[in-house]
Amino acid sequence: MDVYATRVFDKQEIVMREDPVISVDTRYLTAIQASQYDKLGFLVIKGFFDKNQINELSASASFIYENPSQALTVKEPKSSVVRSALSVHTNEPFLSVSESGELAGIAKDIVGANPYIHQSRINYKEGMQSIGWSWHSDFETWHSQDGMPRMRCVTAMIPLAKNTCANGALMVIPGSHKEYVSCPAPKGHSSAEDNFTDQKDGLPNIDAISYFTTGKSVDIFTIECDPCDLVLFDCNLLHVSNPNVTPEKRTNLFFVYNSIDNQLKRPYCGINPRPEWMGARESIKEIKV
């Protein structure tokens, strides 16, 4: 039986998580950091990267944005503005950073085994031209559309610009990663690309969000952060982000680390797998920590 069945029933349902959030003994995260990550589902490590590293990543992210035909990109729903570039970790300088000792070590602490990159992306959120993202759990998508079996996966977000309320910083519901929202079956069919740019499937409704916020008296938390910070968040943490209402883009880099013991199966909602550059199933490389 699929404990995380989703998009197969008519109704939304909230069930308990059945996987650990982080391993018991962490080598790279302190006990305090580990317990905060476990409890809240996210952790911000200030000043993790040095400025030169961030400048290099930032310059490469800009190059991709200016030369989208040389990269794997998706556009904003109703325009040709680049929304995201995917599978960036296969090239430098992203490759070295994604495999670097301390970052991969933290990923191993969390997922409980050597990690590999399930997905990498740069979200550009162009000033006044990006629609933002609706409430969702990434795992719900990766389980149903990519066939990721269990919740042994973490996203490392590397801000390449200051993230503020005004430019659409990530917002999360602390603690929501301990339960799972099984979403209703989609009414129509939307392609992998469509659903990536303009999410339609796998969206928890207002009852689910209010169950986690109003029902548990939990405040939605806005992760305002700066370049050089590292933001880690659980694959099942509910999150959302608003459009960027400032004139400048807000660029963030993401590496999604999955446990090498949690490789993809057939998508659980019965569709064909998404392309390799959206969810890696064949070209994976174990990062030996």
List the one residue from 4, 133, 268, 277 that touches ligand 6CS (CB under 6 A): 133
Q: Which stretch binds ligand 6CS (CB under 6 A): 6-14, 109-117, 133-141, 164-172?
A: 133-141
Q: Which does 196 bind (CB under 5 to 8 A by kind): ligand 6CS, Fe ion, none?
A: ligand 6CS
Question: What is the dihedral angle through the alpha carbons of 71, 76, 78, 80, rounded to the nearest 10 degrees?
Answer: -30
The residue count for binding Fe ion (CB under 5 A) is: 1
**What are the structure tokens assigned to 91, written together?**
């090239």
Question: What is the C-alpha R_g of the chain?
Answer: 18
Distance of CA 28 to the CA centre of its chain: 21
The residues facing 200 across adjacent strands are none
Q: Does 138 bind ligand 6CS (CB under 6 A)?
A: yes
Among 17, 83, 89, 136, binds ligand 6CS (CB under 6 A): 136
Q: Single out the residue of 96, 97, 98 nearest to residue 118, CA to CA.
A: 98
Closest distance of CB 24 from ligand 6CS, Å: 27
Q: How far is CA 71 from CA 36, 48, 66, 91, 161, in A?
A: 36, 28, 10, 11, 21
SS3 sequence of 180-201: EEECCCCCCCCCHHHHHHCCCC
* Structure token digits, residue 265: 């199966």
Among 12, 199, 222, 246, binds ligand 6CS (CB under 6 A): 199
48 binds ligand 6CS (CB under 6 A): no
Q: Read off the tokens for 212.
A: 């986690």
- Is residue 233 close enough to count as binding ligand 6CS by CB under 6 A? no
140 binds Fe ion (CB under 5 A): no
Q: Which of 258, 34, 62 is nearest to 146 (CA)?
A: 258
Burial of 138 (0-12, 13-18, 19+ CB in 10 A): buried
Report how far residue 20's alpha carbon sits from residue 41's, in angstroms, rounded to the nearest whole number: 11
Query: Is residue 138 within the footprint of Fe ion (CB under 5 A)?
Result: yes
Site string for ligand 6CS, 81-120 (x = CB under 6 A): --------------------------------------x-
Q: Which is nearer to ligand 6CS, 34 or 65 (CB)?
A: 65
- Residue number, 239 or 249, with CB nearest to ligand 6CS: 239
CB closer to Fe ion out of 138 and 201: 138
**Interface contacts to Fe ion, rule CB under 5 A:** 138
**Interface contacts to ligand 6CS, rule CB under 6 A:** 119, 121, 133, 136, 138, 141, 196, 199, 278
